[in-house]
Amino acid sequence: MSTNLYIYYKVAASRAQEFDHAAAAMQAELSLQHQVNTALKRSAEIKDEHHTWMEVYSSVPPDFIQVIDLAVAKHGLAALIDGPRHTEFFVNISSCA
């Protein structure tokens, strides 16, 4: 069964461009090294001077969160994020099940 990883968090709107560059570089590296599809999304609206951002990773192994944690540290994302990173795994299901 295929597992997708979704990670969401808040980033100050004033740091959006800086964060976008760092997160995009991290995801490009992860995609190349681990052969996973990635996506980076951001809420359209600003609430309390922050955007909500989401990283998406498709078809990842169960231990991929450790890979992500190392990449976040390497690329300095934690310093740009306000508050916790929320992580959720979802599995693909057949609509015919």
Q: What is the pLDDT of residue 1?
A: 63
Average pLDDT over residues 12-33: 97
Q: Which domains does the chain have, with CATH numbers?
A: 3-91 (3.30.70.100)
CB of 65 within 8 A of CB of 5?
A: yes
Q: What is the pLDDT of residue 96?
A: 57
**Tens digits of residue pLDDT in 69-94:** 999 999 999 999 999 999 999 988 87
Q: Which residues of 37-68 are buried (b: 16+ CB within 10 A; e: fewer)?
A: ebeeeeeeeeeeebbbbebbbeebeeebeebb
- Most confident of the following: 1-5, 51-55, 62-66: 51-55
> Rg of the chain over CA atoms, in angstroms?
14
Stated pTM of the model: 0.90
